[in-house]
Amino acid sequence: MPSRRRLALPFLLALAFALAAFVSACGGSGSSNDKSATQLLNTAFHQPIKSADVNFNLQVQVQGVQSLSQPLSFKFSGPYVNNGPGKLPSMDLSASIVGGGQSVPFGLTSTGDDFFVKVRGQAYDVGKQTVAKLNQQLAQQKAQNKQNTSLSALGIHPSTWLSNAKNAGDSTVGGTPVTHISADLNVSKVLDDLNSLVQKAPTSSLNGASKPPQLSEQQKSEIEQVIKNPHIDVYVAKSDNTVRRIATSLNISVPKDQQSKVNGATGGTLQLSIDLANVGQAKHITAPANAKPIADLAGQLNALGGSLGTGSSGSGSSAAPPSSGTTGSSSSPTAKQFQDYAKCLQKAGSNNASALAKCSSILK
pLDDT of residue 187: 85
Ranges of the chain with pLDDT below 50? 1-11, 24-32, 147-150, 204-208, 307-333, 335, 350-351, 364
Cα radius of gyration (the chain): 21
What does the alpha-carbon distance between residue 141 and residue 24 come to, in Å, rounded to a whole number? 15
DSSP lists the bridge partners of residue 98 as: 73, 103
Is 108 in a helix, a strand, or coil? strand
What tens digit of pLDDT does each residue of 127-145 get?
999 899 888 887 877 666 5
Give pLDDT, residue 250.
84
Structure confidence at residue 18 (pLDDT): 52
Give me the amino acid identity at 233: D
* CA distances to 59, 160, 183, 359 from 229, in Å: 18, 17, 11, 43
Whether 116 and 106 have beta carbons less than 8 Å apart is answered as: no
pLDDT tens digits, residue range 320-351?
443 333 333 334 445 455 556 555 655 655 44
Strands (E), 157-258: 162-173, 176-185, 227-228, 231-237, 243-253
Give the Cα separation of 94 and 116 in Å (integer).
12
Q: Which amino acid is at 231?
A: H
Domain boundary assignment for the chain = 4-277, 295-363
- The amino acid sitting at 216 is S
Q: pTM for the full model?
A: 0.68
Q: What is the DSSP string of 342-363?
A: HHHHHHH-TT-HHHHHHHHGGG
Q: Which residues pair with 180 in a beta bridge?
A: 235
Is residue 272 within 8 A of residue 306, CB to CB? The reply is: no
Please give the span between the terminal C-alpha atoms of the chain, in angstroms, as a whole number: 29
